[in-house]
Chain A
Amino acid sequence: MSDERPTPVLRAEGLVKTHHGEGAPAHAVRGVDLCVRPGEFVAITGPSGAGKSTLLHLLGGLQRPDAGSIWLDGECTDRYSEARWAVERRKRIGIVFQFFNLVSNLSVADNVELPALLAGAAPKQARAEREQLLAELGLTGKERSMPGELSGGEQQRVALARALVNHPPLLLADEPAGSLDSKGTREVMRLLSRFHQRGQTILLVTHDARLASAADRVISFFDGRIADDAALDGGTPPRRPGISGVLELKD
């Protein structure tokens, strides 16, 4: 028995995480198995409080599970230290957050170049990468701006550049349009689709079905568990009641 498929970029088994705060313990993640293969674009959707952000934090090593294991590119992370996870988040995992989390007293250029320099890139190379990404994201001319001078949509694009500057095999996105208006949401959606088309593996957490529909696989997350895991059709829109029924005018 051999599995011909490539090694998953990310695999998780039996993940459990319970938050102990005031009041009753919150069972945020209650036994999750998950596998993301190279080139996949997976969205995790569900109501707020379902535990999907906690799940993403576990997968990015920002929180540690109470039980279960995570493999990156086939490598078990059970024994990873905090420092080791921090290195992985520079090299193998890029993350974008709802509130951008840019360094507010660094310029746009420095925000993007910093992770490249920390990962050991030569300054010249970091600069070249930064220039290319900012141009691609429509941010040329904003290099010297400070994050606070940019709109939300622009800040999220800077965050995306920062997350991708080291060409990580996996991009994690936690409600990347959660604080953007509908124009900003469409922009994020378009950019994620574009990077995905070029082969970027993406795991996206969102409550926005429009954003989730950009993915080719959608996992419905309820109450700490995976309720459904569905591949979306790749084909052209069939002329069936599904789509025309939504749009049709009455006769």
Chain B
Amino acid sequence: MRLPLLALLARGPAHGYELKQDLEQLLGSAYPQPNVGQIYVTLGRLEKSGLIEGEDVTQSSRPNKKVYHLTEAGREALRVWFEDPEDEPRVRDEFFMKLALAPQTGLADQISLINRQRRQYLNTMRQLSRLAAAEDRDNRIAHLLIEGAMLHLQADLDWLERCQEELEELE
């Protein structure tokens, strides 16, 4: 959450609740709603590390709000963030461990494990399809997020298929 918040502040000063709304609007309904408490905590930490600065703004009818702006150090942290490529996503290693170790335990059957895992993925895929159908058509970023998740799942499903092909031959 740290860097996305910094990135939102690169446009100009904002307070915590505004940032929450901006994030929701940008990423759409598929992205889990950011918790406003978590946002305030993160802003506090960013301020402590000198990446942003907060300023109390008095409001007549409400409690004061804190408006944050990016510092030069914050801007630099963002540059570094954009500069670095991210690690590739990892294979679902916990499932792989189950698959690899099941035969030795006599407690689970590999094909049943694969079938169960496939059901899980297919259900998630269905939920993603529904999210995509419900999402505002014009929100390209939100649609790309959902499509990315679907393509990852598709790859996981393809891989399950490979596991099944290989392991069924052994039976």
Instruction: Point out residues on A near B: beta carbons under 8 Å.
Output: 46-47, 182, 189-190, 193, 208-210, 212-214, 218, 220, 222-223, 227-228, 230, 232-233, 236-237, 239, 242-244, 246-249, 251
A189-B129, A249-B4 known; 4 new pairs, CB 8 Å cut-off, are: A212-B125, A218-B122, A242-B124, A251-B38
**Which of chain A's residues have a CB closer than 8 A to the CB of B165?**
47, 222-223
A45 to B79, CA, bound (A): 45
Do A230 and B122 have beta carbons less than 8 Å apart? yes
Q: Contacting B124 at CB < 8 Å: which of A208, A220, A223, A246?
A: A246
Do B30 and A47 have beta carbons less than 8 Å apart? no
Do A243 and B128 have beta carbons less than 8 Å apart? yes
Closest B residue, CB atoms, query A240 = B124
Do B125 and A213 have beta carbons less than 8 Å apart? yes
Q: Contacting B157 at CB < 8 Å: which of A189, A209, A243, A246?
A: A209
Do A190 and B124 have beta carbons less than 8 Å apart? no
Do A246 and B154 have beta carbons less than 8 Å apart? no
| B interface residues, tally (CB under 8 Å) | 38
Mostly, the A contact residues are mixed
Q: What are 28 A-to-B residue pairs whose CB atoms are below 8 Å?
A: A47-B165, A182-B147, A190-B133, A193-B133, A209-B122, A209-B154, A213-B126, A213-B129, A214-B129, A220-B115, A222-B168, A223-B165, A227-B111, A228-B115, A230-B118, A230-B122, A232-B119, A236-B130, A237-B127, A239-B32, A246-B124, A246-B149, A247-B30, A247-B31, A247-B149, A249-B31, A251-B2, A251-B42
A251 to B2, CA, bound (A): 7
**Which of chain B's residues have a CB closer than 8 A to the CB of A228?**
115, 118-119
| Nearest-Cβ distance from residue A108 to partner chain B, whole angstroms | 27
A243 to B42, CA, bound (A): 24
| A213-B129, A228-B115 given; A242·B120 CB < 8 A | yes
Closest A residue, CB atoms, query B28 = A247
B153 at interface by CB-CB < 8 Å: yes
Do B1 and A249 have beta carbons less than 8 Å apart? yes
B110 at interface by CB-CB < 8 Å: no
A249 to B33, CA, bound (A): 11
**Which of chain B's residues have a CB closer than 8 A to the CB of A213?**
122, 125-126, 128-129
| Nearest-Cβ distance from residue B146 to partner chain A, whole angstroms | 8
| A228-B115, A233-B123 given; A246·B152 CB < 8 A | yes
| Nearest-Cβ distance from residue A27 to partner chain B, whole angstroms | 14
A233 to B128, CA, bound (A): 12
**Which of chain B's residues have a CB closer than 8 A to the CB of A210?**
125, 129, 150, 154
